[in-house]
Amino acid sequence: MKKTITIGMIVAGCFCLGLIIFLAARNHGIAHGPTRIRVGWQTSWSTQAQLAMTLKRTNVLSLNGLRGEFQGFQYGGPLAEAALAGHIDVLFAADQPAINLIARGAKWKIVSKCVGFRDALMVPPQSPIRSAADLRGKKIAVPFGSGAHRIVIELVRAASLDPARDVTLINLDAAEINAIVQGGVTNPTSQEWRGDIASVASWDPSIAQFEEQNLAKVLIEKRLFGVTAMSEEFIASHPVAAQAFVQSLHEALWYYRQHPEQADTWYAQEVNIVLSPTVARKSASFDKNLSAASFNDIDISLSDEDVSVLQDSSDFAFGAGLIKSHPVAAQVVDRDLCRRAQQYLLSREPALNRVQPESK
């Protein structure tokens, strides 16, 4: 009898130990192997692209129990369409495409910032246009649905112009805008690009490339921040993996901060572009995390001020008729994931050299 009880206790103990190991493994995202996460990123947007490539080409995701699948998109509009169709789980976007996505009924949450960057209105180098007010009667090319789209409307209105009547907005994607500017001025008298386009709106690295090559000059620029958005379905189905992805972002940014040339090379190789060191450094200068002094100084959390900026974006887009519903930023932002991720990272002894390039 005693022998039977002893065997039973051993079996029960083994079961409990196995359960503990299983739960611990699950909490680290490795119970059934790495969790797949489909990442949408933008091929024309630096330094978000370098961050995406760092996630893709290092072991940072696998270290956090994840397996990444990456899909590149020209800009925020097509990226939002993929999110609506359920083809991706997480995306990097400017604030406006993220708000637009949620306004269209997508069940997504904004969970962190990703990079700092700038949008700019640009004109040919010898253009007589000196301010947004000089754009009256002119054509402006911008990718509709992008963050730059909203910025153009804001800048035109600030110059007391009606964006529907006083200027003509032309919907061109980032690649088309690059081709137009690269083609040079076709009307020397008016100093306009092909199609009588007097101004374009874009973001880095295009802005810095146009400046370096003297193909365009900045008329007005605005500093902004990009966000990380994640589907509510993924968060609910994979809460540990959702937090692990935000942890991965923090670690990837620190790796990028330490190895900028490598990340720049990965990006240039991925999209088959020439990215000069000058252009890369200029683009990176708008992201404070890329000058962080230490791992603990990396910060992708959303502050109250950031949430207020997101609300301003929602208010403006709704008032301008760009979106039909009116998201409340406080309700579409999930700051808990980032808070828990950063608490975890800062509470453990950081292994600062654990992130390494994946071997081919």
User: Residue 193 forms beta bridges with which residues?
Assistant: 197
Task: Tell me what pLDDT residue 23 has.
Answer: 41
Strands 90-94 and 217-231: antiparallel
Check pLDDT > 80 for residue 7: no
Task: Tell me what pLDDT residue 26 has.
Answer: 43
Check pLDDT > 70 for residue 324: yes
133-146 average pLDDT score: 95
pLDDT digits (tens, 9 = 90+) for 222-272: 999 999 999 999 999 999 999 999 999 999 999 999 999 999 999 999 999
Element (H, E) at 56: helix 48-57
pLDDT digits (tens, 9 = 90+) for 291-320: 999 999 999 999 999 999 999 999 988 998
Q: What percent of the chain has pLDDT over 70?
A: 90
**Which amino acid would we find at residue 153?**
I
**Which amino acid would we find at residue 101?**
L
Check pLDDT > 60 for residue 18: no
Task: Tell me what pLDDT residue 350 has.
Answer: 59
The mean pLDDT value of the chain amounts to 91
CB 119 within 8 A of CB 155: no
Task: Tell me what pLDDT residue 27 has.
Answer: 45
Task: Tell me what pLDDT residue 349 has.
Answer: 61
Q: What percent of the chain has pLDDT over 90?
A: 82
Task: Tell me what pLDDT residue 278 has.
Answer: 97
Task: Tell me what pLDDT residue 28 has.
Answer: 44
Check pLDDT > 90 for residue 213: yes
Check pLDDT > 60 for residue 124: yes
**Which amino acid would we find at residue 280?**
A
Q: pTM of the full predicted structure?
A: 0.88
Taking the alpha carbons of 288, 294, 297, 300 in that order, is the dihedral positive or negative?
A: positive
- pLDDT class of 352 with cuts at 50, 70, 90: low
CB 106 within 8 A of CB 83: yes
Residue 126: other Cβ atoms inside 10 A:
10
Task: Tell me what pLDDT residue 286 has.
Answer: 97
**Tokens describing residue 125:** 């180098």
Check pLDDT > 80 for residue 29: no
Task: Tell me what pLDDT residue 85 has.
Answer: 95
Check pLDDT > 70 for residue 167: yes
**Tokens describing residue 194:** 């092909």
Tokens 């069940």 belong to residue: 107
Max Cα–Cα distance, the chain, nearest Å: 104
Check pLDDT > 70 for residue 4: no
Check pLDDT > 70 for residue 321: yes
Task: Tell me what pLDDT residue 17 has.
Answer: 42
